[in-house]
Amino acid sequence: MNALRSLRYHPFPVAAHFRKSLVVGFTAPKAELERFLPEPFTLDLVQEEFGFLAAAIVDTKGLRPKGMPSLLGQNFVLLGYRIFARYETAKGRRLRGLYILGSETSKHSMKWLGGVFTRYRYDTTKIRWSDSDEEEVIESDSGLHVIARRGNEEDDLPEG
């Protein structure tokens, strides 16, 4: 692996504060998701019929190499789109993880730096995140539109 490529594997720890985050998970029919996964990845399935996706939205404050002053940190919003996947190594070890469909950020500097130090394939988009006592609304110029209504914290999860 050449030196430039090796930088894309998170070569140093980072520090950041997540002001807020929202992760939305979905299931979708196996046939709809398989086309997004290259070989040798396979879908992580439930009932052999449905795969899982997640969209994570994170409002990040002060992201910087660990040990650097917070004054040098970057503030931005990140959007990450992932499919839950499986992979079997040559030695037969079965691994589970997330396959990156795409990543977006509100800052051009994060797109560039993220491209150098990660494999997340960032693109830039304008992201608006507003909240009230009743709901969070997140929209992007790339087409994301999420409305998350706050529920009663005392409600139990549905059975099953």
Residue 116 confidence (pLDDT): 77
Residue 2 confidence (pLDDT): 59
Domain map (residue ranges) of the chain: 3-148
Residue 147 confidence (pLDDT): 93
Q: What percent of the chain has pLDDT over 70?
A: 90
Q: Give, in degrees to the nearest 5, the angle at Cα 119 between 114 and 125.
A: 50
Mean pLDDT over residues 19-27, rounded? 93
Q: What CATH number does domain 3-148 carry, 3.40.50.800, 2.40.400.10, 3.40.50.460, 2.40.110.10?
A: 2.40.400.10
Query: What integer best gives the mean pLDDT of the chain?
Result: 88
6 phi and psi, to 5 degrees?
A: -65, -25
pLDDT in tens, 61-100: 999 889 888 888 999 999 999 999 999 999 999 999 999 9
Residue 98 confidence (pLDDT): 93
Residue 158 confidence (pLDDT): 75
pLDDT in tens, 28-44: 999 999 999 999 999 99
Looking at the DSSP bridge assignments, the partners of residue 73 are none
pLDDT in tens, 131-142: 888 999 999 999
- Output the pTM of the full model: 0.80
Q: Between 95 and 121, whose confidence is greater?
A: 95
Closest CA to 103 of 114, 91, 90: 114
7 pLDDT more than 70: no
pLDDT in tens, 42-52: 999 999 999 99
| Pairing of the two strands 127-131 and 122-124 | unpaired
